[in-house]
Amino acid sequence: MSRNSPSSPPKPARSRVAANSTGPPATNPPTTKEISPSARRVSPSATEKKMDARVRTTRDALGDALVALMHEKPFESITVQHVLDRAKISRSTFYSHYSDKNDLFLSDVEDFFEMMSSALIRHGDTSTRVAPVQEFFAHVAEMRQFISSMAASEKVRDVMELGQGHFARAIDQRLAALPATRSLSATRRSALAHASAGSLFSLLNWWLRHGSSTTPAQMDALFHQTLWSGINPPSKTATPGPTPAILRKLSDRRLLF
C-alpha cells in the first residue's frame, strides 16, 4: 500500500490541532536555562515533523492491516476490531484518525491514487507518456483478490471515481509540461485530461474482464496511441517502458490495489 510517497507530505490526523503559538519574547536576555528565540522558532517545526512521522506510521499500519484482511475475507465482514487486532493499534488511536472502516478505506484509496497518478511527474520521466499505465496495470494484476473483495462490497464505483479524478489532474499537469501539448488552451487541455482519465479506467475495466492475454505494456501502448491520435503527434512516440524508479518504489511496499 502506498502512503509513504517521499514527495507527498503525509496527511495530518483528523483530530490533530494546531500547535500553540509562543508568547511574546522575553525582555531579559536568555540565561543558560532559557531557550533562545531562534531555538523556539525551530522547535515547533521539528516537533511537527516527528508528529507527522508518527501519524504516517499509524495510518500505514492501519491501512496495511485493512488491505491484508481484504485479501482474506469480504470487506463487509471486516470489523474495526479486526483491523485493530491486525495492526496492534488501540481503538482510541484509530478513532483519532478515522470515523470508521469506510473512512480508513477511502483515505487509503486517495493516498494510493495520489502517489500512482503523479508518479511520472515526481520521478522526472522524460518520455511522452502522460500516465504510468504499465506500472498501474501491473500492480492491479497482482491484487485481484483485493479487487474481488472490493467488488463484493460494491465499492468499485467510489474507487473508480476517485482514481479518475486523480489521474485527470495528473494528466492535465503532464500535458501542460510536454512540448507537444503545452500550447493547448487550459480548457482544451483540461477536457483532454478528463477524457483520457475516463479512457484509462475504461481500459482497466475491460482488461480485468477480458484482457488476460494482453500485457500491461501493451495496454500502455494502446492508451497512449489512442491519446496521441487525437493530438498533433509529438516528435517522439510514447515510450511504453516503465520508469525504473517507479518500479523500485512499487516493489518496496504493499500498495492498495
Q: pLDDT digit string (tens) for 69-81?
A: 988 888 889 999 9
**In terms of pLDDT, which residue wins out, 238 or 35?**
238
Sorted by sequence, the CB contacts under 8 Å of residue 74 that are 6+ apart come out as 149, 152, 153
Which amino acid type is present at position 244?
Answer: P
- The average pLDDT across 42-53 equals 59
Residues in the chain: 257
pLDDT tens, position by position, 57-67: 999 999 999 99
Residue 156 CA to residue 154 CA, distance in Å, equals 6
Which amino acid, one-letter code, is at 256?
L
pLDDT at residue 151 in the model: 74
3-state secondary structure 15-41: CCCCCCCCCCCCCCCCCCCCCCHHHHH
* CA end-to-end span of the chain: 7
For residue 146, the model assigns a pLDDT of 78
Residue 162 cell numbers, joined: 476517485
In the predicted structure, residue 48 carries a pLDDT above the cut 70: no
* Digit-coded pLDDT (tens) for 109-164: 999 999 999 999 999 999 999 999 999 999 998 887 778 777 777 788 889 999 99
The alpha carbon of residue 6 and the mean position of all alpha carbons in its chain are separated, in whole angstroms, by: 11
Q: How far apart are CA 135 and CA 129, in angstroms?
A: 12
DSSP run (H or E) holding 85: helix 80-87
The answer to whether the CB of 60 falls within 8 A of the CB of 1 is: yes
Contact 175, 189 (CB under 8 A): yes
